[in-house]
């Protein structure tokens, strides 16, 4: 496969001239620097970009590989690096956050004000007994206090773990329990698309399920004003405990390896894993990617549309932009409320210069603009934009070109950034003032990242041949552990099949035969990507079989124009196979049940019933066959090993 025939988009001479990574010579020089002295490359930048309370003397510690340590004897504080030092540098009155609420109300927060708010929350957490190393679960909407709560944890050395506000009571319970959290931070409710949705009530349900006994306090912010129950001795209103605190709180200096956060993400088993990140190495990459990939300048208005519930919101909302002293837009709502022009309206209003969003959002806005010309990006003044970004899933060339022409006005480079919860920040991405762009390709590794495509035994395959995406050398922002499961960490990320030294991303990839550009071909494990959200098929299967009517379930993905992949579930009920209206009723029941078990994002788009699932004589479910059925393809595979070929007809859908 080669991109030879594909259209190539060059950065403008103006962009190249002013870019942090200027021209391909600039990019190659950085790669060469890392090649010659790998540790020195990262060490130099860690010294220059981060403020250390105790400087590090050692860069990479491999003594406990594959758990790698970076800058291990150095001490720092992430919140100090994001807030105090900006104030010390004279940026106290610079706007840090331009917050736009769901209803359109705008609040601007300066660095000085954010520091004061964070300090108050930090002091409140201390009053609740939170100490360095304690875990705090944050179940908050996209608000200033959501971000400030994360920073407050970092300030006192507590390890935060955000649970996305769309996750269910069960998911929240599992994470509070797995993390052994001492405190939960939440709000009464959240606004999304003009609707008021509960959060505290769901948290109460989570507690009622049991297993959260170690979590002794719940700090509740007021957002929607909805009535909530408060459990005496456990629940406290932020208005009561936060507002009265001093706005001064000394940062707690932590070792570079101190866990800044855990973030749960789906893998190929039923149980999400708590991905543990460091403080020093993580923050370094958050900053470096802001500077190199996003080419952040002091006058930029940066907007990442992610939610703090996902890693993108951690690195490119809470930490990266602030650590660089930037100004960023923070958005509470959804792209289609009050109409599908919301993003374009906000870019125009706040004069956003760097815009970072997900392909699924772009695809839905293309569709909306096609049907309603009044929300077409061309109707808005988007001339403030100079750079666009994409993240979360492959962006199809058609969506890329639409984004480039209609949003970027044909003048803004698009950085298609490939990375993962586990990698902390960008891994394979264009440098906007250097890399010639090819729609659909995330192009080349970030300077210093040693990505490769290998076969099942860990040997590199020639360009032009598909294989498994790996990273050959440890990098500062890599995952440090799966919380509480050392075995799973090794098996998932440094499997012995590949020699035990290569980081396994879990994606397939192919490099262009001519220029070595990477194209991601999708997950190679049982993980689906629905609207840029990671879902384990096993997780959804476990949820389905937890329903009393269900005997067995198998879940697969099928390509979807809007969401990238869609969830298709094949279900065997304990009773007889339902048809017609009965089937419709059961489908709704099961779908709602999955929504309650995991969250609405896990609801299958399609549920089909069979008397059995297609299995080999040894009882193994033939997933490949199910994938064909899900797509509506004729089954061309060999079904001779199938015990029960007649059920294929039932599952056709």
**Beta bridge partner(s), residue 508:** 468, 522
Binding-site member from 283, 442, 622, 642 for ligand WT7 (CB under 6 A): 442
276 binds ligand WT7 (CB under 6 A): no
Q: Contact letters (x/-) for ligand WT7, 60-79, by CB under 6 A?
A: --------------------
149 binds ligand WT7 (CB under 6 A): no
Report the nearest approach of ligand WT7 to the CB of residue 188 (Å): 28
307 binds ligand WT7 (CB under 6 A): no
Quick count: other Cβ atoms within 10 Å of Cβ 287?
A: 26
For residue 585 the two structure tokens come to 């009723």
Instruction: Determine what percent of the chain falls in helix, strand and coil, rounding each to the nearest 5.
Output: 35, 25, 45
Binding-site member from 15, 80, 261, 418 for ligand WT7 (CB under 6 A): 418
Q: Is 174 within 8 Å of 212 (Cβ atoms)?
A: no
Report the nearest approach of ligand WT7 to the CB of residue 172 (Å): 18
Q: Which is nearer to ligand WT7, 311 or 621 (CB)?
A: 311
Q: Which is nearer to ligand WT7, 207 or 475 (CB)?
A: 475
Q: Which is nearer to ligand WT7, 273 or 615 (CB)?
A: 273
Q: Is 547 annotated as a binding residue?
A: yes
Strand 387-391 to strand 414-417: parallel, antiparallel, or no bridges (unpaired)? parallel
Q: Which is nearer to ligand WT7, 43 or 532 (CB)?
A: 532
Report the nearest approach of ligand WT7 to the CB of residue 372 (Å): 28
Report the nearest approach of ligand WT7 to the CB of residue 485 (Å): 17
Q: Annotate 101-135 with DSSP letters as a single string.
A: -TTS-EEEEEHHHHHHHHHHHHHHHHHTT--TT-E
- Considering only residues 531-570, where is the footprint of ligand WT7 by CB under 6 A? 534
Q: Is 511 within 8 Å of 518 (Cβ atoms)?
A: yes
Q: Which is nearer to ligand WT7, 158 or 527 (CB)?
A: 527
Q: Is 301 within 8 Å of 327 (Cβ atoms)?
A: yes
Report the nearest approach of ligand WT7 to the CB of residue 421 (Å): 3
Q: Cβ-count burial of 472 within 10 angstroms (0-12 exposed, 13-18 middle, 19+ buried)?
A: middle
154 binds ligand WT7 (CB under 6 A): no
- Considering only residues 311-340, where is the footprint of ligand WT7 by CB under 6 A? 311-312
Q: Which stretch binds ligand WT7 (CB under 6 A): 39-47, 224-232, 236-244, 419-427?
A: 419-427
Angle at 357 between CA 353 and CA 363, to 5 degrees: 120
CB-based contacts of 403: which residues, under 8 Å, 6+ apart?
Answer: 362, 388, 390, 395, 414
For residue 25 the two structure tokens come to 């010579």
Q: Which stretch binds ligand WT7 (CB under 6 A): 144-152, 306-314, 450-458, 576-584?
A: 306-314
Beta strands in 459-532 (DSSP E): 467-471, 481-482, 503-511, 518-523, 527-530
Q: Which is nearer to ligand WT7, 161 or 312 (CB)?
A: 312
Q: How far is CA 86 from each of CA 51, 95, 112, rounded to the nearest angstrom?
A: 11, 11, 9
Question: Residue 640: what are its φ and ψ, rounded to 5°?
Answer: -70, -25
Radius of gyration of the chain (CA): 24
Q: Cβ-count burial of 62 within 10 angstroms (0-12 exposed, 13-18 middle, 19+ buried)?
A: exposed
- Considering only residues 4-63, where is the footprint of ligand WT7 by CB under 6 A? none
96 binds ligand WT7 (CB under 6 A): no
Binding-site member from 393, 512, 526, 597 for ligand WT7 (CB under 6 A): 393
- Considering only residues 244-273, where is the footprint of ligand WT7 by CB under 6 A? 265
Q: Which of 467, 570, 560 is nearest to 509 (CA)?
A: 467
Q: Which of 1, 38, 23, 168 is nearest to 450 (CA)?
A: 38
526 binds ligand WT7 (CB under 6 A): no
625 binds ligand WT7 (CB under 6 A): no
Q: Which residues are annotated as a binding site for ATP?
A: 392-394, 416-421, 507, 523, 534
Q: Which residues are annotated as a binding site?
A: 192-195, 312, 392-394, 416-421, 507, 523, 531, 534, 545, 547, 550
Positions in the binding site for ligand WT7 (CB under 6 A): 265, 310-312, 391-394, 416-421, 442, 505-507, 520, 523, 529, 534
């Amino acid at each position: 496969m080669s991109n030879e025939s594909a259209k190539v988009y060059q950065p403008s001479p103006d962009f190249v001239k002013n870019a942090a990574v200027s021209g391909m010579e600039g990019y190659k020089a950085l790669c060469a620097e890392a090649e010659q002295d790998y540790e020195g490359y990262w060490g130099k930048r860690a010294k220059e970009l981060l403020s250390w309370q105790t400087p590090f003397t050692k860069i990479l510690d491999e003594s406990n590989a594959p758990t790698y340590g970076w800058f291990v004897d150095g001490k720092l504080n992430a919140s100090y690096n994001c807030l105090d030092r900006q104030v010390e540098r004279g940026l106290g009155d610079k706007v840090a956050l331009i917050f736009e609420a769901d209803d359109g109300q705008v609040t601007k927060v300066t660095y000085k004000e954010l520091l004061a708010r964070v300090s108050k929350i930090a002091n409140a957490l201390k009053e609740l007994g939170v100490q360095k190393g304690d875990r705090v679960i944050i179940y908050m909407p996209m608000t200033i206090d959501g971000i400030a709560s994360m920073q407050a944890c970092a300030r006192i050395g507590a390890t935060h773990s955000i649970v996305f506000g769309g996750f269910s009571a069960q998911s929240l319970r599992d994470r509070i329990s797995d993390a052994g959290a001492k405190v939960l931070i939440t709000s009464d409710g959240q606004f999304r698309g003009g609707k008021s949705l509960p959060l505290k009530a769901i948290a109460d349900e989570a507690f009622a399920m049991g297993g959260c006994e170690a979590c002794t306090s719940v700090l509740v912010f007021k957002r929607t004003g909805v009535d909530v129950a408060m459990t005496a001795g456990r629940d406290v209103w932020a208005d009561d405990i936060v507002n009265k605190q001093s706005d001064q709180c000394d940062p707690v200096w932590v070792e570079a390896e101190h866990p800044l956060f855990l973030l749960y993400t789906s893998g190929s088993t039923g149980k999400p894993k708590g991905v543990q990140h460091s403080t020093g190495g993580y923050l370094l990459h958050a900053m470096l990617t802001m500077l190199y990939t996003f080419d952040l300048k002091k006058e930029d208005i940066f907007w990442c549309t992610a939610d703090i519930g996902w890693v993108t919101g951690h690195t490119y909302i809470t930490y990266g932009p602030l650590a660089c002293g930037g100004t960023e837009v923070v958005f509470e709502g959804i792209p289609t409320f009050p109409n599908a022009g919301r993003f374009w309206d906000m870019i125009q209003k706040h004069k956003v210069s760097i815009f970072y969003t997900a392909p699924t959002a772009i695809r839905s806005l293309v569709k909306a603009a096609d049907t309603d010309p009044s929300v077409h990006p061309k109707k808005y003044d988007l001339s403030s934009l100079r750079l666009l970004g994409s993240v979360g899933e492959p962006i199809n060339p058609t969506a890329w070109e639409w984004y480039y022409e209609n949003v970027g006005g044909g003048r803004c480079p698009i950085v298609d950034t490939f990375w993962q919860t586990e990698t902390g920040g960008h891994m394979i991405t264009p440098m906007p003032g250097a890399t010639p762009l090819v729609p659909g390709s995330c192009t080349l590794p970030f300077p210093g990242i040693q990505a490769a495509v290998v076969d099942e035994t860990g040997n590199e395959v020639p360009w032009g041949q598909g294989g498994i995406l790996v990273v050959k050398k440890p990098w500062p922002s890599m995952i440090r552990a799966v919380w509480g499961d050392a075995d799973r960490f090794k098996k998932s990320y440094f499997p012995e099949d590949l020699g035990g030294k290569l980081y396994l991303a879990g994606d397939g990839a192919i490099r262009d035969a001519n220029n070595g550009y990477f194209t991601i071909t999708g997950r190679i494990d049982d993980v689906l990507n629905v609207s840029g959200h990671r879902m384990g098929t096993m997780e959804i299967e476990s949820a389905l079989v937890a329903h009393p009517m269900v005997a067995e379930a198998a879940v697969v993905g099928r390509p979807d124009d809007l969401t990238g992949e869609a969830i298709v579930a094949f279900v065997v009920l304990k009773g007889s196979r339902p048809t017609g209206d009965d089937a419709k009723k059961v489908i709704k029941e099961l779908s709602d049940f999955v929504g309650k078990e995991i969250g609405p994002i896990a609801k299958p788009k399609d549920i089909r019933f069979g008397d059995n699932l297609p299995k080999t004589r040894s009882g193994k479910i033939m997933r490949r066959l199910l994938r064909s059925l899900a797509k509506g393809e004729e089954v061309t595979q060999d079904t001779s090993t199938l015990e029960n070929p007649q059920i294929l007809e039932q599952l056709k859908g």
